[in-house]
Amino acid sequence: MSEAHLYKIGICADHGGFELKEGLKAYLKEQGREVVDFGADELNTDDDYPDFVIPLARAVADGKVLRGIAICGSGVGACIAANKVEGVRAALIVDYFSAHQGVEDDDMNVICLGGRVTGNLVAKELVAAFLGAKFIGAERHVRRLNKISALSGKV
């Protein structure tokens, strides 16, 4: 099986994050990343974030993309929706420390951003920190994740 999915980054946004998504997509492509866009394809003020976030989250959980970036106006709805999909560990991120530490300690695989909260340049730095980080996998980290997975069988 091709390992191309290991390098793909999924991204999505509703109308509240559409502009930020387009900016981040261009940035990721400049960085040589392969980006899979789960929509929205155009700015539509009537669209609903679950319609984009759930397919993105499923692709992360199924290993079709390595990690995901989910954006709505605040990032809150995107985070709530993404975490409903088993195998997804999503967090709303507004600071640099959490952008990498969330991966290192908690194996975060979806970063949620607020298009009405976080500016383009800060968002690029947060995404770079997120994508550059690796899960450390120390016994204490795995133990904590196992306590979460015990709820459903899967984290």
Q: How many C-beta neighbours within 10 Å does residue 30 have?
A: 9
Smallest gap from residue 43 Cβ to ligand RB5 (A): 12
∠ at Cα 93 (95, 3), nearest 5°? 115
> Does 39 engage in binding with ligand RB5 (CB under 6 A)?
no
Nearer to ligand RB5, 44 or 146 (CB): 44
Site for ligand RB5 in 66-85 (CB under 6 A): 72-74, 76-77
Q: Is 36 helix (H, G, I), strand (E, B) or coil?
A: strand
Smallest gap from residue 113 Cβ to ligand RB5 (A): 11
Smallest gap from residue 49 Cβ to ligand RB5 (A): 5
Q: In the Cβ-directed half-sphere of 90, how many Cα atoms lie within 13 Å?
A: 31
Known catalytic residues? 72
